[in-house]
Each structure stands twice: as structure tokens, then as C-alpha cells.
Amino acid sequence: MIKIMFVCHGNICRSPMAEFIFRDMVKKRGESDLYCIASSATSSEEIGNGVHSGTKKKLKEHGISTDGKYAVKLRSDDYGKYDFFLGMDSRNIENMNKILANDKDNKIHRLLDFSNNPRDIADPWYTGDFDLTYNDVVEGCEALFEYIRGNNIKCKKGE
């Protein structure tokens, strides 16, 4: 399986949005069995809390449920378990590098670094703009999917 971890500050807005959008995307393409998709936080503030109501509402508009998702924290031992760690902004990347210690395998990226317009995804916790965040996350997830497909990244043997 190709293992992907989406990461943001609290794991209640952007990273679960990316997790569930990407899951929906690969499901609609009949490729769910090729991916392990998760999300986590760089901070401990929201651990155990459910997905933010704005994210839930926005995803529900697109027929995507976040049922059963609760915020979890990124751990140093996650590095060996995932192929990609996708932060939502530059600050997330700084914190991911601290938590994961050493990105010797170049697994850590901003989600929108795979797009034609690399940039941070604004945090709707502060902006209140879940529409903009949704559009950016969709753009990033589509670009990531095309990157994986275009670079012929395959599941590792035995996984």
C-alpha cells in the first residue's frame, strides 16, 4: 500500500479534510485498496476532539462523512510507517521535522507543493473560510494523486 499521512496543527480542520477528500477520490477511482490514508496533528491541543463543525459541514456538502475521526498526534515512530507526510503549511513542516527528527527519505512536503501553484493552505480555524480551504485541499489531493500516478509510485512488496 501507498501510505499517506496528512498533517496540520490540530487535526480537526485541514488534515482530516485532506484525509477524507483523498479517501473519497481514490474510492471513486476504484483504488482504495492501494492506499492507507490517515491524518494527525503536530500539537496536542485538540487530541481526542472530533472534526471541526466547519470541516464536517463542507465535506457533507460533497457527500463525504468524517464519522469516527478524532484528532491524534503525529509520533516519531510514524516515520517508518508512511511514504508521504503532507503538511498544510510551512509551520506544519517545521513542526513535522522536529517530531520526525530527520527526513532522510524526503517524505515530508506541503500538500500544495505537488500543484502548479505551491503555497500554504490557510487555516480555516482562523479565517473561517472553509470554502477556500476545501478548494485548496482538493487541488492538492488531485495534484498528489497525479504525482503518484505520473511517477509510477507503486505499493511496496509485502504490504
Choose, from 8, 13, 89, 141, the residue flagged as catalytic.
Answer: 8
The 84-87 sheet, strands edge to edge: 35-41, 2-8, 84-87, 108-110
- The CA distance from 4 to 25, in Å, is 14
Q: Where are the extended beta strands (E) located within the chain?
A: 2-8, 35-41, 84-87, 108-110
Q: Would residue 23 show up in a list of annotated catalytic residues for this protein?
A: no
- The CA distance from 12 to 52, in Å, is 5
Choose, from 14, 24, 136, 141, the residue flagged as catalytic.
Answer: 14
- The CA distance from 11 to 1, in Å, is 23
- The CA distance from 49 to 12, in Å, is 7
Q: Would residue 14 show up in a list of annotated catalytic residues for this protein?
A: yes
Q: Would residue 8 show up in a list of annotated catalytic residues for this protein?
A: yes
CB of 28 closer than 8 Å to CB of 103: no
Choose, from 24, 83, 123, 136, the residue flagged as catalytic.
Answer: 123
- The CA distance from 53 to 124, in Å, is 11
Catalytic positions, please?
8, 14, 123
